[in-house]
């Protein structure tokens, strides 16, 4: 069994699909250490040759893994060499789909990422709202939010909100449960009218201690006892107000965000289908 392996994601577009699929697969082998590198927008033979040359040199004959979503057959063939393990995502799925659907695929690089004017405007609006209503800012405007996240400091509210806005198109806001609310087991008045859109985030005391310690080591704020106390008080608030709770411990931002919209019964924005 390999103890480590180099992994490369190559694409003629953003590389998001190749990366997401590759990572979803290699995470099933936790005993192996993977070194990952992404090469997006490889759109001609020259760029492909330069990339495979780098990969060969970097990997030193250790047969690296390459996950590819390159459409152009001439460009793709540059990577089909015995020195690497080549996984062609589109060729495998599109070939079978063409057979099943009895139709020819467009095979246009990055077609699903073409953004129309309406989609772009709405996505920008969601991002601006998220950034303008972060960490309890402008709570009087929270009635405009589609999602409101609550939790103690450093539990992951901001990155999840940013993902919800930028990738899922939701106007998201978040509010920090500080001692002012934790010690009295209450929520601010601006939250009460919007309880149907509220989700609580929590984590473990160990992970919260680690996150806080990176910024404020040796502080009472980062003390594990403080972290545990705040988490427990937040849990009591969530229970008091019947707020659904998601534990982000061990989850990626994407997983947590998906759980949030599932919990609230929301679905993907229709205009995001063209993104």
Percent of the chain with pLDDT over 90: 71
Indicate the range of 12-21, 35-44, 202-211 predicted with least confidence. 12-21
Domain boundary among 65, 90, 112: 112
Winning range, highest mean pLDDT, from 11-25, 105-119, 241-255: 241-255
Q: Which domain holds residue 215?
A: 117-274
150 with 223, same domain: the answer is yes
259 with 145, same domain: the answer is yes
48 with 149, same domain: the answer is no
Report the number of distinct structural domains present in the chain.
Answer: 2
- Alpha-carbon distance of 234 to 20, in angstroms, equals 33
100 with 180, same domain: the answer is no
Helix (H, G, I), strand (E, B) or coil at 235: helix
Q: Do residues 212 and 163 make contact, with C-beta atoms less than 8 angstroms apart?
A: no
Domain boundary among 87, 112, 137: 112
Asked if pLDDT for residue 273 goes beyond 60, the answer is no
90 with 140, same domain: the answer is no
Percent of the chain with pLDDT over 70: 93
22 with 95, same domain: the answer is yes
169 with 266, same domain: the answer is yes
Domain boundary among 112, 147, 181: 112
Q: Residue 169: which CATH number?
A: 3.40.50
Which tokens is 25 given?
Answer: 């697969």
Asked if pLDDT for residue 240 goes beyond 80, the answer is yes
Indicate the range of 6-15, 105-114, 117-126, 249-258 predicted with least confidence. 105-114
93 with 155, same domain: the answer is no
| Long-range pairs for 101-104: beta carbons < 8 A, 24 or more residues apart | none
107 with 124, same domain: the answer is no
Q: Do residues 155 and 200 make contact, with C-beta atoms less than 8 angstroms apart?
A: no
93 with 163, same domain: the answer is no
Count of beta carbons in the 10 Å neighbourhood of residue 227 = 26
Tell me the per-residue pLDDT of 165-206, one tens digit each, with 9 for 90 and over: 988 889 999 999 999 999 999 999 889 899 999 999 999 999
275 — pLDDT class (breaks 50, 70, 90) = very low
146 with 104, same domain: the answer is no
Segment 123-143 shows an average pLDDT of: 93
Nearest Cα residue to 174 out of 189, 162, 192: 162
122 with 257, same domain: the answer is yes
């Amino acid at each position: 069994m390999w103890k480590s392996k180099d992994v490369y994601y190559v694409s003629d577009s953003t590389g998001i699909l190749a990366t997401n699929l590759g990572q979803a697969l290699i995470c099933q082998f936790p005993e192996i250490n993977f070194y990952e590198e992404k090469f997006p927008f490889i759109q001609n033979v020259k760029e492909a040759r330069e990339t495979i040359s780098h990969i060969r040199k970097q990997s030193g004959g250790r047969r690296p893994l390459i996950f590819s979503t390159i459409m152009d057959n001439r460009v793709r063939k540059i990577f089909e060499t015995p020195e690497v393990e080549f996984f062609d995502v589109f060729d495998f799925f599109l070939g079978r789909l063409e057979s099943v659907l009895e139709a020819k695929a467009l095979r246009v690089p990055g077609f699903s990422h073409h953004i129309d004017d309406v989609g772009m405007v709405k996505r920008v609006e969601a991002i601006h709202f998220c950034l303008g209503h972060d960490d309890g800012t402008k709570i009087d405007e929270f009635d405009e939010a589609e999602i409101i996240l609550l939790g103690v400091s450093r539990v992951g509210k901001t990155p999840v909100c940013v993902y919800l806005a930028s990738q899922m198109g939701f106007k998201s806001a978040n509010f920090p449960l500080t001692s002012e609310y934790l010690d009295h087991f209450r929520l601010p008045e601006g939250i009460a009218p919007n309880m149907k859109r509220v989700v609580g985030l929590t984590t473990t005391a160990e992970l919260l201690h680690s996150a806080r310690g990176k910024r404020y080591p040796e502080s009472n704020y980062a003390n594990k006892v403080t972290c545990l106390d705040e988490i427990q008080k937040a849990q009591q608030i969530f229970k008091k107000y019947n707020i659904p709770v998601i534990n982000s411990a061990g989850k990626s931002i994407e997983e947590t965000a998906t759980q949030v919209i599932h919990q609230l019964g929301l679905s993907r924005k229709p205009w995001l289908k063209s993104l």
